Structures are given as structure tokens and as C-alpha cells.
Amino acid sequence: MDLQVVEQVATLGEWISEGGVVVLSGAGLSTDSGIPDYRGPSGSARRSTPMTYQAFTRDPIARRRYWARSHLGWRTIGQARPNEGHQAVARLQEQGALDGIVTQNVDGLHQAAGARDVVELHGNLARITCLACGALTPREELGDRLDAANPAFAGVAVAFNADGDAELAEESLDGFTLVDCLDCGGMLKPDVVYFGETVPPERVARSFELVESARTLLVLGSSLTVMSGRRFVLRAAKHGIRVAIVNRGVTRGEPYASLVIDAPLGIVLPHLASVPTG
């Protein structure tokens, strides 16, 4: 780390030692686990239009295309393991420095690292929900059923997105067979929030509650391009709460931040977790 970053990290360490920190994490925290982000220097912008709730529920061809791609993408997302950044956040929580963790990610890596009571704004790819009866089932169970229904599926991903959606050649999608809910025969969907779908209000309310009671809102690995995450920075700024951002590259939260550190999270966060907290 250069001198400026060292000084910034020291300042952030002092703020964390005071406690009352709420973390807001984004895709940049998971890139060291092999999951690409969308806009950061270690990732790339999405190559295809993201699935919308309307297309998924109304268009059988779009739904089949999504499930073929997501089935393949899960083979990467499901095998991802927490990196040093996730582990550092879990240690900070264990040390009592954090009052809450809100994540925009759907990979479950905060919990896999040992973090507790994580608010998953956009859900979790490891869960499958039935849109008819609401039954929740593990992703592994659905994966086994899709494998059994598609023994000849041999799609090869050319790229992955942070939401587990793989990029496939169109011909690889032909003949992919979907499966329905075992309980009621209803339509199955990953338990995540699609574009065009609303984040459950209780998650938003809980996140605002955490932010408004914080001393510091610590943003990790998010460009804050979409309002889903940026609204919490705006709320913190409105209430005079310090905002610190650790991210590679530019973020839209910079005008509202007291501290912006452009440095690898895998270096900054382990350092912060090694500093004694008060």
C-alpha cells in the first residue's frame, strides 16, 4: 500500500475501533473468490441483458434459457469459498466492531465465512423458491433434478456474471428440460431479486434501521451504481453518519463519503481485522 492508502486505512481503523459500524457489501468483495463483478477492474460489464421477473414468468423460452445458463453458472458460484475479505468482516463482527452486515451479493459467502444475521438484500442463489406455494428447497436438490432431466446437457460457459448467470452459445440451450415444484407443480425460481422485482420491504426497512443507528457506514466492493445500494449511502449522509468506502475504481458514493480508499479489499480488510477494537 502506498503512503496515502496507509494513512487512510489507519483513519478507518480508528473509526472501526469506536464500534457502531454497519457494512454494506457488493460484488467487489467476492472477486477474490472467483466470482466476477460487473464494473470493477477485476470484472467486466455484463455481456447480456439480465433476466427480468416479467420475462422469467411470462416467456417459457426465456425461462428455459435462464435455467440452462444458471444451472451451469451454479457450478462455479456453488463451489466458491470465502476469501480473506469475507473472513475479515466475520472477525470484525466477532470482535464486536460491527452492528450489522447488509449485502447486495447473492453468493452466501459472508455466512460461509462465519458472519451472522446478514441482511441479504437480493436473496441467495443457494435457495430455490416456488412461485406458487412458496416452498423453499436447497439449490443442490434442484441441481440433481436438472442433471437427471438433462443427461446430455454439455453446455460450456464462455463467461460468468456475479449473479451466477453463465454466458452460453445459443445452440447449447436447445432441448434443455425444466423441472417444476415437487410439492405443487408450480414454477421454480432462485430465491433472488430479479430486475423488475421489488426487494422485500422488510429487508429494506431492516437495512435502513441499521444504517440510521450506525456511527459509520462502511461500503465494501460496490460501485453504488444502482439505487438499491446507493440509497443507504444517501440515508447515512442525510443523518450525518460517516461513510467510508473501500473499492477498486470509482463509485457513485464518493460525493457523500468522508473517506474513500481505492485499494484491494483482500489487503485492506485483513489489516483492519488485525487491529484491536475498543
Nearest-CA neighbor of 246 among 88, 113, 94?
88
Catalytic-role residue among 71, 122, 239, 271: 122
Nearest-CA neighbor of 270 among 82, 64, 89, 81?
89
For the packed helices 60-77 and 139-149, what is the interaxial angle rounded to 10 degrees? Answer: 120
Instruction: Output the known binding site.
Output: 130, 133, 181, 184
Nearest-angstrom CA–CA distance, 271 and 267: 7
Is the distance from CB of 29 to CB of 35 less than 8 angstroms? no
Instruction: Output the known binding site for Zn(2+).
Output: 130, 133, 181, 184
Which class for 64: exposed (0-12), middle (13-18), buried (19 or more C-beta within 10 A)? middle
Nearest-angstrom CA–CA distance, 89 and 221: 12
122 a catalytic residue? yes
Nearest-angstrom CA–CA distance, 52 and 266: 32
Cα Dmax for the chain: 60
The contacts of residue 233 (CB under 8 Å, 6+ apart) are 24, 217, 219, 224, 243, 253, 256, 257
Q: With DSSP H G I counted as helix, E B as strand and the rest as coil, what are the percentages for the chain, rounded to 5?
A: 40, 20, 40
Supply the residues annotated as catalytic.
122
